[in-house]
C-alpha cells in the first residue's frame, strides 16, 4: 500500500464514521503535511445545521487551527469524494499542493448528492441564474475596497 492510499483510507474511514455517528453525508477528508495528518473532517451538515460543514471545509478549519495559519502550503488533501464547487473553492483558497479523491461527482450524484446544477449555474450569466443576484450600494462598498487597497499594514493572501 502506498502512503497516498494509507491517507485515503483514513479519509474514507472518516466518511464511515460520519455515517455511524449520524453527523451528515458520507464524506471524509484528511489534510497531510510532512507525512502527518494535521487536519481531519467528516461531513457534519445535518448534525450542526451548517450547510458549509462539508468534510473538506471541516478538515481545512482543523488543519489551519493546528498549524496556526490561514493557508495550507505544502499540504496534501485526501478526500473520500471529488470536492463539490464550494469545497473546491475553499481548497483553492487554502493553497495546498495536491488534492487526492476517491469517489467522483457521478458517484455522489448516484446517491443523491448531485452538484451538476451548481456547476451549470456557475457557467450562466448573473441575470440567468435561478437565485436572483442583485447588486446594491456598490459605490459605498468600493470606498471600503479602496481603503484596503491603500492599507499599509494589511496581511495579503
- Active site positions, annotated: 56
Distance CA 52, CA 50 (A): 5
Q: What is the Cα 116 distance to its own chain's centre? A: 17
Place of cell 499542493: 97
Distance CA 122, CA 82 (A): 17
With CA atoms as reference, report the closest residue to 74 among 45, 41, 33, 122. Answer: 33
Amino acid at each position: 500500500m502506498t502512503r497516498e492510499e494509507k491517507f485515503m483510507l483514513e479519509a474514507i474511514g472518516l466518511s464511515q464514521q460520519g455515517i455511524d455517528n449520524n453527523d451528515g453525508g458520507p464524506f471524509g477528508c484528511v489534510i497531510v503535511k510532512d507525512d502527518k495528518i494535521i487536519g481531519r473532517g467528516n461531513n457534519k451538515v445535518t448534525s450542526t445545521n451548517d450547510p458549509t460543514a462539508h468534510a473538506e471545509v471541516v478538515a481545512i478549519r482543523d488543519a489551519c487551527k493546528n498549524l496556526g495559519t490561514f493557508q495550507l502550503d505544502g499540504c496534501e488533501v485526501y478526500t473520500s469524494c471529488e470536492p463539490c464547487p464550494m469545497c473546491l473553492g475553499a481548497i483553492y483558497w487554502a493553497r495546498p499542493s495536491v488534492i487526492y479523491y476517491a469517489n467522483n461527482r457521478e458517484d455522489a450524484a448516484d446517491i443523491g448528492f448531485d452538484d451538476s446544477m451548481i456547476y451549470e449555474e456557475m457557467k450562466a450569466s448573473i441575470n440567468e441564474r435561478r437565485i436572483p443576484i442583485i447588486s446594491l450600494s456598490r459605490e459605498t462598498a468600493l470606498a471600503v475596497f479602496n481603503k484596503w487597497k491603500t492599507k499599509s499594514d494589511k496581511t495579503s493572501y
